[in-house]
Amino acid sequence: MPHKAIIFVLNGPNLNLLGTREPEIYGRDTLDDIARRLDDQAQTLGVEIDFRQSNHEGHLIDWLHEAQAVGAKAVLLNAAGFTHSSIAIHDAIKAISVPVVEVHLSEPKTREAFRHISYVGMAAKLCFAGHGAKSYELALDAAARF
Ligand code: DQA
């Protein structure tokens, strides 16, 4: 049987605290809840996901490079706070040919002004934001069709 296409799902800082972190903004689902649902969805879509979280910018950059090295079909990236600060993550997205889909639980563009700039969005192919945990599911649906 041919290998299934692999889609990396990369999560940045503080997302390990989902469930208890500002639930009025981010909801009550934990990152594990999201990972489990995406796994089920991936099975239905006939793709495989590799779901990771790190609080460290360099890990996210290394994982973007790894997505390219292993020939991933796409990357879903919730870079969290690094979205609004990291030119290095922007550069990493531009440095790979794997399409990156920006994901956010909240809608940063309707929040504080410092969240209105997205260095990830300037390099990503698509963005799903403001749908809570469902943003990930919408992004996976789109990425599986690339
Ligand atoms: C977030 C939005 C970012 O502005 C914030 O820094 C996060 C989470 C989201 O998923 O809504 O940590 O990426």
Give the pLDDT confidence of 11-60 residue by residue, as tens digits.
999 999 999 999 999 999 999 999 999 999 999 999 999 999 999 999 99
Tell me if 64 sits within 8 A of 11, measured CB to CB: no
Residue 119 catalytic?
A: no
Note the pLDDT tens digit of each residue in 100-139.
999 999 999 999 999 999 999 999 999 999 999 999 999 9
Tokens 């239905």 belong to which residue? 44
Q: Is the pTM of this model over 0.85?
A: yes
5-144 CATH: 3.40.50.9100
- Per-residue pLDDT, 12: 98
Beta bridge partners of 48: 6
Ligand 1 binding pocket (C-beta < 6 A) is: 14, 78, 80-81, 83, 104-106, 108, 115
Domains of the chain, residue spans: 5-144
**pLDDT for the residue 3:** 84
Distance of alpha carbon 125 from alpha carbon 123, whole angstroms: 7
Q: What is the pLDDT of residue 2?
A: 66
**pLDDT reported for residue 1:** 62
d(CA 45, CA 135): 16
More confident residue, 3 or 8: 8
